[in-house]
Structures are given as structure tokens and as C-alpha cells.
């Protein structure tokens, strides 16, 4: 994504197993976040919808997904 090309984004979306799934993500130095994976944005952040709204996750560990 750093090259400015956006072809990777549509390819990722087509093959992503997490989109639409409930995920539990632990960002570094933070409490785990539970929500539904919506997408990945143009900068490579995972977008997770929680009860508080959409959260951008720049890095972290997927602890569980369903």
C-alpha cells in the first residue's frame, strides 16, 4: 500500500476471511477489542465496528474470530 497503488485493497477484500466476522483483537499495549471486521482501509488499518463505532487498528493480534 505504500506504493500508492490500490489494487492490493480489492484483492485483500476478495480473499479476506475476517470481513463480516466477529473478531477479538489485542492491539499492542491495549485491552482486547471485540467487534465485527468491516474492511481494511487504504493505509492498511483493520476497521472493526464496535458498540462505540468503527475503530482503526494499525497493528495487533487476532485472538479469536467467528
Alpha helices in 3-65 (DSSP H): 7-15
> Is the pLDDT confidence value at 56 over 60?
yes
**Closest by CA position to 21, among listed 36, 41, 34:** 36
Residue 1 pLDDT level (bands cut at 50, 70, 90): very low
Tens-digit pLDDT profile for residues 15-49 = 678 889 999 999 998 899 999 999 888 787 899 99
- How would you classify the pairing of strands 22-26 and 33-40? antiparallel
Tell me the whole-structure pTM to 2 decimals.
0.79
Amino acid at each position: 500500500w505504500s506504493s500508492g497503488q490500490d489494487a492490493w485493497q480489492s484483492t485483500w477484500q476478495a480473499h479476506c476471511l475476517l470481513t463480516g466476522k466477529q473478531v477479538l483483537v489485542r492491539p499492542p499495549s491495549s485491552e482486547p477489542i471485540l467487534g465485527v471486521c468491516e474492511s481494511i482501509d487504504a493505509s492498511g488499518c483493520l476497521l472493526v465496528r464496535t458498540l462505540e463505532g468503527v475503530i482503526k487498528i494499525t497493528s495487533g493480534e487476532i485472538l479469536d474470530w467467528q
